Structure 1
Amino acid sequence: MKKRIVITGLGVAAPNGVGIPAFMNAIKNGVSGIRHNPLLEQLQFSCQISGEPEISDELKAQYFTELELRGFNSSGILYGVIAGIEAWKNAGLLFNETPDWDSGAVFGSGTSGIDKFRESIYKIDELQTRRLGSTVVAQTMNSGVSAYLGGKIGLGNQVTTNSSACTTGTEAILMAYDRIQSGQAKRILAGSTSDSGPYIWAGFDTLRVCPSKYNEAPTEGSRPMSASAAGFVPGSGAGAMVVEDLESALERNAVIYAEILGGNVNSGGQRDGGSMTAPNSIAVQKCIENAIINAGITANDIDAINGHLTATTKDSLEIENWTKALDRNGADFPYINSLKSLTGHCLSASGSIESVAAVLQLHEGFLFGNNNCSDLHHEITALIDPSKVLLNTINSNPKIIAKASFGFGDVNACVLFKKFEN
């Protein structure tokens, strides 16, 4: 018999809001976190706008000691620790003097400490290896974010970092779900983070998949599902949630934000049209279909979709895949939104930040609108009723939201969240 697994804590460091109150206000009111980036302009990037969380020195000091911050230069770990600790506190959980054997972390990352790597390379080349500092390894190992969180909280169960490109965050939530479902943990801190800066984003600028014509109008740059979409705006940040066995949550009298019904992870094998950068549509559809089966619901039960929808030429294909997987189109299609219109594409952090947004919509009873897509792409309007792409936030009462992420390497993940009913 399947366990019921719920979400009892949320945390976020997003371009349009650090902390749940600020983030919820932003998504409800269409507040964008995309800004002009002087460094990208200085480095002559084609795309000179980005979405980055705004972190003050005062906020850093709430999460790291003065000693830890000495020589600290890893934005991904910074965002991940802020989001993860907020989620842990939000769940009403304690920081442990001895290891908590029932609690662990699955916290994903695409890279770790890219700026620290650069700093280290220069010091080595200048024969200053001994001046690298004692934390260079912890800041640059890919599992650095989960290691920092495990140590700050005192986690005694599995503590690990997954990495699956833009699918990372959604996959981490499903890995947490599976570990609890198998009885090996009571709760897992699940999420993902992404470094920020030119050394992460340069490759995408080279690929010409980022917009260059909105440098003077940053908030208009990210345009998922729009006919005038010109590529994804690079972003960064972290999202986190405490995933917990229902029995444990009820024993603690915890606030329950939503229930995880199940999901699916797969790959298209870079076959049948799939490649390193393009999705295999058959695999995408199978991922969604199998997620629905695993969740024990039907496609008609889904009230809304939080899509991957990056503001590239693949948006129309994604909508087509949803219509085929759900066998729903036109006016029968669920509402659909993309957080990337407000944050840009936060890469390995996108799935976790967007999942936090999906859960907030269920818990608070609203669906946020999509910025910059009043000119819906004609290939999308041929598939679904335009009213299903909300331009403004509506008060609603969604019961089930499907969240999916699709990543480089032709990898996919889909999770089904449900409004909690005891």
Structure 2
Amino acid sequence: IAYETFDRLDEALFAGKLKDAVYLDVRELGSYVSGATYNPGHGPDSRVSRITIVLNLAMHLTATPEHIIASLIHHMIHAYFLVACGPQKADELDYGRLNHGNHFGKIMYMIKNLSRSGGKCFPLDFGHELRMVRGNPYGLDYPHHASPSAFHNRSRKSQPPSDRSYCPHNAKEVEQAEIDVWYRGLCEPLLGLPDCVRGLVIYTLKDGEFMELQRAQAGRSDTFVELIFSGKALHVPIDKIAAHTSIREVFSKSRWLEIPEGVNLETFSALYDFLVNGSYGVDIGEMQTIDGKGPPLIKDFDLDSSQPLLLDIRVFKLAHDLKFEELQNVALQRINDQHITREDPVAVLREIYCDTPDPHADLRLWAHGFMTRYTTPAHFWTLTKPYDSSNLKELQQSNIHRSRFEKLVEHGGALHLDIAKAHEEL
């Protein structure tokens, strides 16, 4: 019966996820358990690398068909959690993969309630007493090898190894109402999360490359948090956020943090690197001079030059959106610590002014200093005015930048006002 119904039960109840992942066996397992479900490769047959379900032969020989099927479904629920969540580890017994707690109970009650016909439910339960002598004069059924007193007083055997389920007939029951409260509070909200958070794969990031990691191998869910970027969930060890009060506060409300749309991979990589490694971006030492100061002076434009300034501004904006104050402060410090730049200055200003009609005050202050930055004359009697050697003049009159800068100014708004103030100051 078990072999004939397994595939149909799998399709009807578990979306076919068990068929190629589970090996079904029938063996003698003593007289106390209905069977056992084993981690992949840990079953009695060492040649089998799949999850193994073993039904106890002694307990099923005289059971009715409906009780055999109920017992099989019981173990298929255990197997489903191993497929979905990975093998149970020795230090994760409370995680719920192979025990009979809320996780098991939710699926068990769902199947049991769906099976209700004419007011009678399928005999699916937390434990299954299969080998019964029927028709005793008291209307009770007891195992035919035990007396009523033995049935009630039997002591619980010691727990088996952590790589398998332990399924005695008297497994502790959890009330459906209690499970429903747990489910509504903890599980139901997760259904609204992106698919990547509920998927089997999670990612890490190394040198801008996404590296796949099976979620089952990522450790307990309370040991890491997840950044959701471009349809992918990225793994961040929880101890990496411990030093950052602001982002720790963000993650105190949820284990997931969605990165806003429009953030490119380079900017996200900077955020990820800062969290995991404590720093991000290229060394800005080449953008500094011995006696220099920031904001930087515009030097000869080099298309192949690194663009730390543009990246730092983008990181600052992302950190502000995420309320990640520590990263925001680091990005602003890097912006102010650059003394020269060979980046496209128009692109830098566009990044500050064009995304929003009201740029962040710190970025506007820096942009004002950037436009009014000029070369200090070598001699105090030099007659040139500050404007003549300023970044603003370079932007307004250079053949390389002038036309694009004029198009940027046409947007008006805060940039137009800040240019007027900078010109007046110079």
> Structure 1 length as normaliser, TM-score?
0.22
The structure showing larger relative contact order (alpha-carbon pairs under 8 Å, at least 6 residues apart) is: 1
Structure with greater proportional helix content: 2
Higher CA-based Rg: 2
TM-score by length of 2: 0.22
